[in-house]
Amino acid sequence: MSDTPQTYDLFIDGSERPAQAGKTFPVYAPATGALLGLVARADAADVELAVASARRAFPTWAGLAPAQRELILLRAADAVEGQRAALVDLLIDESGSTITKARYEVDYSASLLRVAAGEARRLYGDTFPSERPERLSLVVREPLGVVLAIAPFNAPVVLLAKMAVFALAAGNSVIAKPSEETPLSALALAALLARAGLPPGVFNVVTGLGAECGEPLARHPGVAAITFTGSSATGIKIAQIAAAGLRRVQLELGGKNPLLVLRDMDPERAAAIAAPGIFAHGGQICMASARIIAERQVARPFAEALAREAAALHLGDLRDERSAYGPLINQAALAKVTRHVETARAEGAEILTGGAVHSGLTYRPTVLWQPPPQSLVWCEETFGPVASVVAVDDLEQAIAVANDSPYGLSAGVLTNDLSRGLSAARRIRCGAVHVGTHSFHSEALAPIGGLGSLSGIGRSGGKYSVEHFSELKWITLPA
């Protein structure tokens, strides 16, 4: 066996090509530390090529009959499913996903492609009665041009797919900029799209660092719109860049999602429902239920039951279906989780379980009781397997605490009382509220997005994405 690491090129204009400066960066498996490959490290010169390629491809793709775009996206869904095992393997290696999370990601990506394929046919227009009887008014929907999709590391295939496939369905060409932690799955997706018949240049992948290629892409005047999923800090930068160029932008950012546990719930049952919403992928999920707000009657028994659920989670081989989650993405992520837990401990929070490294980059499932309201772990995104539980007097206070956050992505309300559940759902300021389950819930047709300023702007999913990635044009004709 050769010791030479595998190299991965950029994917531009339908073919693989190295970065023009010849630079690469290493990608490691978070679970083992193994070097997975050396990946092309793009800079501004490569950005020029990618934008030129996407601009060239746009008119042909936009000009195809919607049914042809539909067919290619359907074939791409089949291609993704056909390569399920290989994609799952790649996700386990590069993102530290368990086999269960990786399968979910691949299956959800295929489902997004199918939903987007259907949307390609539904770019409806309109007519309206003109004020001038001699004119006929038509309103048609047109694609925007080149869409830049910048993706994070935590669910690298499905989050890129969620941004890209609807843009493609609407007739745009796409440049994908994956996270530098997880570029390999984006390159695999590009190969599958090409195999499904996507013309060269319609979907390009530029790998590299945010500052070196992400930012030049975002600033490029040839990019018509930007869709970004990632941290709130980077999202703010992207919004500023988009504003400077007056470009359309959609931002899916961080969360510090509330889960309300109301007094009618059996604590054991509530804990069993809550646990997957907190600990899936080690809490590296934007919609993770990190802030748990429980009515006092059930709060402590619930927290103790949750601690038992957490302590019983199996942390083992990522390819073992029993494994609940694996490593955090890198050392910096582990340091952040440790800092949040340790400062909460010093500030008086009780650690009911966890609060330490399990092994390598894997942190033990952790449940904190009553961290102070100003603590990092309560206020900032931890992005780790850490749940904080606080007790409140009643539903009013629960809603007030839930809304006391600059985030507003997703929420859950655990209750059997639908009237109290609906009342909470209407008043919690989040882009989504799920009654009867936790906050980690995503579907291809749903409008996903944040309400709080740090959770982003705009909605993605189904027809909402297609509306975002197209623009209305008013045409008049002689009547």
Active site residues: 252, 286
Residue for token digits 């100003």? 374
Distance in angstroms (rounded) separating the CA atoms of residues 452 and 471: 26
Residue 396 to residues 12, 294, 426, Cα–Cα distance (Å)? 54, 12, 12
Query: Closer CB to ligand NAD, residue 157 or residue 265?
Result: 157
Distance of closest approach, residue 228 Cβ to ligand NAD, in angstroms: 7
> Residues 185, 227, 234, 370: which binds ligand NAD (CB under 6 A)?
234
Query: Closer CB to ligand NAD, residue 143 or residue 178?
Result: 178
Q: Which stretch binds ligand NAD (CB under 6 A): 24-32, 199-207, 212-220, 334-342?
A: 212-220
> Residues 37, 96, 230, 258: which binds ligand NAD (CB under 6 A)?
230
Indicate the Cα dihedral angle 335, 336, 342, 343, nearest 10°: 140
> Residues 92, 218, 349, 413: which binds ligand NAD (CB under 6 A)?
218
Query: Closer CB to ligand NAD, residue 47 or residue 298?
Result: 47
Contact criterion met (CB below 8 Å) for 30 and 95: yes
> Residues 95, 100, 172, 229: which binds ligand NAD (CB under 6 A)?
229
Distance of closest approach, residue 26 Cβ to ligand NAD, in angstroms: 15
* x/- track of binding to ligand NAD for residues 283-302 (CB under 6 A): ---x----------------
By the rule CB under 6 A, 477 interacts with ligand NAD? no
Distance of closest approach, residue 220 Cβ to ligand NAD, in angstroms: 11
Site size toward ligand NAD, by CB under 6 A: 30
By the rule CB under 6 A, 408 interacts with ligand NAD? no
362-381 residues in contact with ligand NAD (CB under 6 A) are 381
99-128 residues in contact with ligand NAD (CB under 6 A) are none
410-469 residues in contact with ligand NAD (CB under 6 A) are 456
By the rule CB under 6 A, 170 interacts with ligand NAD? no
* x/- track of binding to ligand NAD for residues 251-270 (CB under 6 A): -xxxx---------------
Query: Closer CB to ligand NAD, residue 83 or residue 232?
Result: 232
Q: Can you give the chain as a three-state secondary structure string?
A: CCCCCCEECEEECCEEECCCCCCEEEEECCCCCCEEEEEECCCHHHHHHHHHHHHHHHHHHHHCCHHHHHHHHHHHHHHHHHCHHHHHHHHHHHHCCCHHHHHHHHHHHHHHHHHHHHHHCCCCCEEECCCCCCEEEEEEEEECCEEEEECCCCCHHHHHHHHHHHHHHCCCEEEEECCCCCCHHHHHHHHHHHHCCCCCCCEEECCCCHHHHHHHHHHCCCCCEEEEECCHHHHHHHHHHHHHCCCEEEEECCCCCEEEECCCCCHHHHHHHHHHHHHHHHHCCCCCCCEEEEEHHHHHHHHHHHHHHHHCCECCCCCCCCECCCCCCCHHHHHHHHHHHHHHHHCCCEEEECCCEEECCEECCEEEECCCCCCHHHHCCCCCCEEEEEEECCHHHHHHHHHCCCCCCEEEEECCCHHHHHHHHHHCCCCEEEECCCCCCCCCCCCECCCCHHHEECCECHHHHHHHCEEEEEEEEEC
By the rule CB under 6 A, 212 interacts with ligand NAD? no
> Residues 47, 117, 159, 349: which binds ligand NAD (CB under 6 A)?
159
> Residues 180, 212, 295, 304: which binds ligand NAD (CB under 6 A)?
180
Distance of closest approach, residue 179 Cβ to ligand NAD, in angstroms: 4
> Residues 55, 84, 237, 345: which binds ligand NAD (CB under 6 A)?
237
Distance of closest approach, residue 226 Cβ to ligand NAD, in angstroms: 9
Query: Closer CB to ligand NAD, residue 171 or residue 216?
Result: 216
Query: Closer CB to ligand NAD, residue 46 or residue 215?
Result: 215
Q: In Å, how far from its chain's centre is CA 219?
A: 22
Distance of closest approach, residue 64 Cβ to ligand NAD, in angstroms: 29
Distance of closest approach, residue 8 Cβ to ligand NAD, in angstroms: 15
Rg (CA), the chain: 23
Distance of closest approach, residue 320 Cβ to ligand NAD, in angstroms: 25
Q: Which residues bind ligand NAD (CB under 6 A)?
A: 150-154, 159, 177-180, 210-211, 214-215, 218, 229-231, 234, 237-238, 252-255, 286, 381, 383, 409, 456
